Chains A and B, each alone.
Chain A
């Protein structure tokens, strides 16, 4: 579908930003910068690449807009033009985030006119690079936004944006969104502060903000706002300056790749590219076989004009075949030797040619970063992309699964930055073959000692941010081959569905019981924003400021409020509700008591759904065990497993050895991309990935040696009690915990043997069976 639904953690993060914005807005003691300007709301969104920062920020401004009495202007800033263009295409009709910012008219800052600013009926979202307004020579009007156009009156766009008064004299709210992790320079901040924004939203991983922006934030801190990244509770909206997204949620939802494999090569470029071509061909075939919905791509990162052999400068005056520029060498090898269609190769860098004497071949697709280049480049959907740092700054493509890093990049290459560009998982969904959840790097180094350093740096930097992404490295290319393990036998297991048939009647009742707010004018009204309005008093041009309490914020549909709440709790519930009930057409203000009541009702409905849902195995929907990735240095061979070897932690290894000894077919199930079972509870951890699958007669046992804690919730007990409509059992989940536990899931002695949790076949009650050894535990777990 064109629109991407927000995931629960994304919806929550956006909601938190909106709620905090309103907290400051309605604070009667909100500090002022000067007489006409209140200290802007500030919120840093701390999230990893791939977490959906753009989606969260877009949703946040969309909702802020819905709650403001005057249509706002959103100034969306990025550092690189490539990022601005990418964001623009996501916000255009047909783009993937259009539904989040739908009421906004989207355009570039340079297209905004003073007339449009004065038109208070249309919300605007305008995109720009920092460079478009950041210029010392502003008074000369060198940049378009600062220019005073002769035919457009006396003021420049920048001035009009600073005043931003509507025809009826109200000042339009201005929200600045800075879509980048890097800190803004003081000079850039100065320019932005000239606009006197009402809110500043920053996508930043660093929590310390130096300089002038930091000083502004200090005013909020003096006012009691904290830079701790705490989550709001249902009862309280906290005065915190940071909204943090958990990296685990990002990885668990399949938004980023599961694994990064770094290979260090001291061989020549040609050998490396051969290896890489083979990898990408295999991945392409798998993507085709698995209907993955994307075609794997490769990127080649190199210097533009410097030879990688001797560091000498390339000469554009030479014929194409004699050029030493790395992009040309790579291009020629791909086209001449590997017979790759030049139409599928893009070269994105500032490569010089003597167009008169020695032009490039006609099918050499060169993009040098001009105004139109990026859109032409993205439209071309190239499979091989040769580039330097200039594209690297902003561009990313989830379909990239291979990256070649040229020696010309030198030892200073920050591999972790390139990783950011390939980290996103295509379709935000892990696939059954691990190769399609992996980004492989082929790094050319001078000597083997250099590579461990690179690997260590990457592991340190990425490992801290996202310990859930596996980072492996190898120097011997053969290790790469050994890492990939395909199953020796085809084995299937029925997928688990959530059967909410029994919830239909109670859900219908719950909707019927909802209060009808369609004709309610009392509870649907919130305390709106305090708006400053400038009025000219008398005729002398004297400007004064009057504060008006505007009680009406924009109204939204009851349907939208409830659906959003469900999406942040358990999205499946929204699909089980018939939203065509007329009561959902009630118009409600977000800050009203009715909205608060409806959010509570939404949560009750989610509870009704979960209470009345069961897990069922479905024989018409089978999961087939696929290939996995293991670390060859830690791999342990097993005789009866579907794969030749696994790398396991100590407790897993103990259990695996005991399972292997039974002689039954079994497999280690990888987290994400592997077999999973829904967990019927609210929260981000919504799927359970059992560690081991064991086939015994016509049953499949899903065994997990570390999950006892989930039994404390109803969802855990339901997990152990999967049946079909006739009450038959097929997939049996068993949890093994170290120590002696009781039926109430309390650990009595953590050093005493093992406990196996299952549910009684007849009573469906949880039972804990204590045994002395791991072998006995596996034996008990495998009893039907």
Chain B
């Protein structure tokens, strides 16, 4: 890890020299400390939610090419990342107590941000509820889609960890 950052590599003779460009920095380590359940997801602030979304993002269709380029915080109200294919990823989330609904007003704002950033359809949107569905929208429900991405089975697992104790009698 250190060498990846400094650009040092081991030569055939076993010497450590700087052979590659040092990486410019900008790293951030996020560690999830508590058990993730719906509560844990729904009480996140916007930047924390983004960390989680980007960690969980994994697109089967593209595999290796599925990396998202994260945009600096605060630039856009919703747009937070751009895929390798030039599609925008949007999050309607301003903290746990604020509404998170993809409605007409939010859609127009997203379309505006997409136009300004010259993005192609579809729009990938994360929010709690969708009430303005239409073509060119890929909607990902919070917290459901995030929980699913991290290996949650909604058929048999409760959304709240305090409901977990019942599992014993159910099995």
- Interface set of A (CB-CB < 8 Å, partner B): 1-3, 62, 66, 94-96, 99, 102-103, 291, 293-294, 427, 495-501, 503-504, 518, 554-557, 559-560, 563, 572, 575-580, 582, 584-585, 587, 616, 618, 620-621, 623, 678, 725
Contact = CB atoms under 8 A, between A and B. Distances in A.
Contacts of B58: 2, 94
Name which of A293, A294, A576 has the most chain B CB atoms within 10 A of its CB. A576
B140 A572 contact: no
Contacts of A578: 128-129
Contact of B104 (A1, A2, A66, A501): A501
Contact of B131 (A99, A495, A563, A576): A576
B155 A616 contact: no
Nearest to A582: B160
Contact of A616 (B104, B111, B128, B140): B104
Contacts of A585: 158-160, 163
Interface in B142-171: 143-145, 148-149, 153-160, 163, 166, 170-171
A497 B111 CA distance: 14
B166 A587 contact: yes
A518 B58 CA distance: 34
A618 B134 contact: yes
A360 to B, nearest CB: 29
Contacts of B138: 1
A623 B134 CA distance: 11
Interface size class of B (residues with CB under 8 A): 35 or more
Interface of B: 38, 42, 58-61, 85-87, 101, 103-104, 107-108, 111-112, 120-121, 128-136, 138-141, 143-145, 148-149, 153-160, 163, 166, 170-171
A293 B61 CA distance: 8
Contacts of A554: 156, 170-171
A467 to B, nearest CB: 26
- Interface centre among A518, A559, A585, by most chain B C-beta atoms within 10 angstroms, is A585
A500 B38 CA distance: 25
A360 B59 CA distance: 37
B129 to A, nearest CB: 5
Nearest to A587: B170
Contacts of A500: 131-133
A725 B104 contact: yes
Closest 9 CB pairs of A and B: A497-B134, A2-B60, A620-B111, A500-B131, A585-B158, A575-B130, A560-B155, A585-B163, A555-B170
A580 B61 contact: no
A501 B143 contact: no
Contacts of A556: 155-156
A617 B50 CA distance: 31
B85 A291 contact: yes
Contact of A497 (B60, B132, B145, B158): B132
B156 A621 contact: no
B160 A2 contact: no
Q: Which of B131, B135, B144, B148 has the most CB of A within 10 A?
A: B131
Contacts of B139: 575
A383 to B, nearest CB: 16
A503 B111 CA distance: 23
Contacts of B111: 620-621
Contacts of B153: 99, 102-103
A719 to B, nearest CB: 15
B148 A66 contact: no
A576 B131 CA distance: 6
A554 B130 CA distance: 32
Contact of B141 (A2, A575, A623): A575
Given A293-B85, A580-B159, 9 more contacts: A2-B59, A2-B149, A291-B85, A500-B133, A559-B159, A579-B141, A587-B158, A618-B107, A620-B108
Contacts of A293: 61, 85
Nearest to B102: A575
Contacts of A501: 103-104, 131-132
A1 B60 contact: yes
B143 to A, nearest CB: 6
A518 B164 CA distance: 12
* Chain B, interface SS category: mixed
A294 B61 CA distance: 9
26 contacts: A2-B58, A2-B59, A66-B155, A96-B60, A102-B155, A103-B155, A291-B120, A293-B85, A495-B136, A497-B104, A497-B107, A497-B134, A499-B103, A501-B132, A503-B131, A504-B101, A504-B129, A554-B156, A572-B130, A575-B141, A579-B144, A580-B38, A580-B128, A587-B158, A621-B111, A725-B104
A747 B148 CA distance: 51
Main secondary structure of the interface of A (DSSP, over half): mixed
A293 B138 CA distance: 14
B59 to A, nearest CB: 7
B154 A559 contact: yes
B153 to A, nearest CB: 5
Given A579-B144, A587-B170, A1 B132 contact: no
Given A96-B60, A556-B156, A616-B104, A497 B133 contact: yes
A455 to B, nearest CB: 34
B131 A499 contact: yes
Contacts of B103: 499, 501
Contacts of A582: 159-160, 163
A557 B134 contact: no
Contacts of B134: 495-498, 618, 621
Nearest to B60: A2
A725 B104 CA distance: 9
Contacts of B38: 580
A460 B34 CA distance: 61
A575 B129 contact: yes
A560 B159 CA distance: 11
A503 B129 CA distance: 11
Nearest to A121: B171
Contacts of A555: 156, 170
A781 to B, nearest CB: 25
B135 to A, nearest CB: 5
Nearest to A581: B159
A575 B133 contact: yes
A457 B33 CA distance: 63
A62 B155 CA distance: 10
A290 to B, nearest CB: 10
A273 to B, nearest CB: 29
B131 to A, nearest CB: 4
Contacts of B158: 557, 585, 587
A580 B42 contact: yes
A291 B88 CA distance: 13
A145 to B, nearest CB: 30
A576 B100 CA distance: 11
A474 B104 CA distance: 48
Contacts of A678: 133
A621 B159 contact: no
Contacts of A618: 104, 107, 134
Nearest to A579: B144
Nearest to A63: B155
A500 B59 CA distance: 29
Contacts of B131: 499-501, 503-504, 576
Nearest to B136: A621
A454 to B, nearest CB: 34
Contacts of A499: 103-104, 131-132
Contacts of B144: 579
A484 to B, nearest CB: 24
Given A504-B129, A623-B135, A557 B148 contact: no
B146 to A, nearest CB: 12
Contacts of A96: 60
Which of A94, A587, A616 has the most chain B CB atoms closer than 10 A to its own CB? A587
B87 to A, nearest CB: 8
Contact of A620 (B101, B107, B141, B166): B107
A588 B133 CA distance: 31
Contact of B59 (A1, A495, A503, A575): A1
